[in-house]
Amino acid sequence: MATAEEGGSGTGTLGKAMDVLETVALADRPMRFTDVLAVSGQPRGTLHRQLSHLVQEGLLELRPDHAYVPGLRLLKLASASWARNEFRAVAAPFLDVLHRETGETVHLGVLRGREIIYLDKVESRQAVRMNSQVGNASPAYCTGVGKAALSVLDSEALEAVLKVTEFRRFTPQTITGRTQLLAELGEIRRSGIAFDREEHEPGIRCVAAPVFDAKRSLVAGVSVTGPAYRVGQTELDDWAPRVRQAAGAIMAELAARLGPQR
């Protein structure tokens, strides 16, 4: 039985199907049968049936050229997921305030395992266009929101995340070791503020604060992000109190709105 190979541990058929779906949906180009076969480690017959089922369910699409691409049903499901997310709804007005105060892009992200999933984003100009950022997953250890979120985990939960974190260097500033990350998290715990100084994307800086509920069943963060040419440490320090305040206000509202009845 050994240790779990991937997501599909304990969830039987569904887990295996989701592994295949994720492989195809998160690939950066359409995959053909053989491409999937190579990474999935499943026998031909099995994989073929799994892919057929995923296509029949509308989770994948099989193009005439035999390439598998993500299906439209994913969009439909996610749209409902986003539209009725209570946390997002509670936070939205505070994100707007923060955006108005700083004039820069504001993000809301939730911790899911070792990743931050962006739930919302408020930015200034530009034609409205469904933001490629919403729903995006980034590693927690090298983003402002991610580090803020990690800083409020208890040691057990943090350990669980660290165990599955692979430190990859995205920029010269990326944190690349456990020790370095732990030191920084200590600093964040003291100040209540996390910075991302071009650690994930070159030229992008950010200041973030953690948002969480009493039982740490929700661990998230808010951030203000901007391009390095416009945003220096001065600006980040300047915004820090406002970000912390927004985070606090969201938590207060969460406690009031979701606390009582749950």
Partner DNA sequence: AACTCAGTTCCAAATAATGGAATTTATTCG
Partner DNA sequence: CGAATAAATTCCATTATTTGGAACTGAGTT
List residues binding its own copies (CB under 8 A).
7, 10-15, 17-18, 21-22, 25-26, 28-29, 53-54, 56-59, 63-65, 69-86, 92, 96, 99, 110, 112, 115, 117, 119-124, 126-132, 134-137, 215, 217, 261-262
Distance between CA atoms of residues 45 and 53, nearest Å: 13
Question: Angle CA(185)–CA(191)–CA(197) in degrees, nearest 5?
Answer: 60
Of residues 15 and 192, the one with the C-beta less far from DNA: 15
- Both tokens of residue 260? 């009582």
SS (HEC) of 77-120: HHHHHHHCCHHHHHHHHHHHHHHHHHCCEEEEEEEECCEEEEEE
Could you say whether residue 49 binds DNA (CB under 7 A)? yes
Distance between CA atoms of residues 222 and 220, nearest Å: 7
Of residues 242 and 257, the one with the C-beta less far from DNA: 257
Of residues 88 and 184, the one with the C-beta less far from its own copies: 88
By CB under 7 A, the count of residues binding DNA is: 23
A 10 A CB-CB count for 149 gives 28
Q: Which residues pair with 211 in a beta bridge?
A: 220
DSSP-derived secondary structure letter, 140: G
Contact (Cβ atoms closer than 8 angstroms) between residue 173 and residue 201: no
Of residues 63 and 169, the one with the C-beta less far from its own copies: 63
Of residues 15 and 192, the one with the C-beta less far from its own copies: 15
Compose the 61-100 pattern: x for residues touching DNA by CB under 7 A, - for all others: -x--xx----------------------------------
Work out which of 14, 77, 183, 228 binds DNA, going by CB under 7 A: 14
Q: Which residues bind DNA (CB under 7 A)?
A: 11-14, 16, 32-34, 37, 42-46, 48-53, 62, 65-66
